[in-house]
Amino acid sequence: MGAHADRFAERGAEARSALVRRIVASGGLTDPAWRAAFEEVPRHLFVPYYFIGRAGSYERLWCEDPDPERQDRWLRGAYADEPLATRVRDGELVSSSSQPSLMAEMLEALDVRDGDTALEIGAGTGYNAALLAHRLGAEAVTTVDLDPEITEAARRHLAAAGYRPAVVTGDGARGCPERAPFDCVIATCTLPSVPHEWLPQCSPGARIVAPLSTGIIVLRVRQGPEGRTAEGRFLRTSAFFVPLRGTQVPPEARAGGLPRRAVENDLFRFLLSLTAGSLDPREAMSLWDRERRPERNRFGITVADAHQWAWLDDPEGPYVWPLDTRPS
């Protein structure tokens, strides 16, 4: 890794600056501290190789390719504002590096402050943990992944970039109690619901940012008389991540038999997934039509003890339904 780090350092810095300018031009990275993190953390060190889908298979690009033209493609791709497939098994994507502009939006939504401690669920390449370590200090960051191959690779990438947060091999749905409490939790994998073991590991006032259904939920943790609760809304942004291992995201096959205008609509598929186990597809479509195709940010989630429910507009309003929190 050291040889390729030296070889691509200058070109990588130029490509990184261009990426940051693109994100800023689109309205992202308004916080100077996060902008500095994206400007200084070298993404290419975290993706020494990645895969590009080609007609049902994957083409591998890597930093040590003997073909200079393919090396250039690899470096350009490392700084494209696109997700990168970094680990594929039997044709199935199991790990990726998320789209940088979406990462920036999620990190800014964490609303971190100096002195905060952070838990990341889904170590991936280690790039997101490096951004957190740049902002908060490595000693304040814990990243967890179930796959020991992924955590070992993330640890190597982080060390090559000069960051040494705690990298833990374990079930992200259980958090990391030995490193708790945390002031913020960010997940980089899609959840079917908020794992109930996270809240006791959060400080009062902690923020949770996580992909759920096909959106990003932003929750604030509160300490109430009967324990911890969390509540918040979705961002407007759509998001598609690798599912948390050991969970199962409700299939879009529920849309079978519905009109094409609904099935092909991204917002309706979000609602359909969010109401799995509570509303049948026809009821979901009736709600969608009645409420004039609501955007994601009109929806929210409340978590209390082992129960959690989703809602439209108001947690005390007429449109409230339980999330399916049964083990998959």
3 state SS of 82? coil
Distance from C-alpha of 117 to C-alpha of 100, rounded to nearest angstrom: 22
Residue of 17, 26, 57, 95 marked catalytic? 95
Active site residue 95: yes
Q: How far is CA 192 from CA 142, 202, 314, in A?
A: 22, 20, 21
Q: Strand order in 320-322's β-sheet?
A: 166-169, 141-145, 118-121, 182-187, 202-212, 215-224, 227-234, 299-304, 307-312, 320-322
Distance from C-alpha of 237 to C-alpha of 103, rounded to nearest angstrom: 12
First CA to last CA distance, the chain: 39
Are 274 and 299 in contact, with CB atoms under 8 Å apart? yes
Are 321 and 275 in contact, with CB atoms under 8 Å apart? yes
φ/ψ of residue 68, rounded to 5: -60, -35
Question: Measuring CA to CA, which residue among 94, 151, 148, 92 is closest to residue 120?
Answer: 151
Catalytically annotated residues:
95
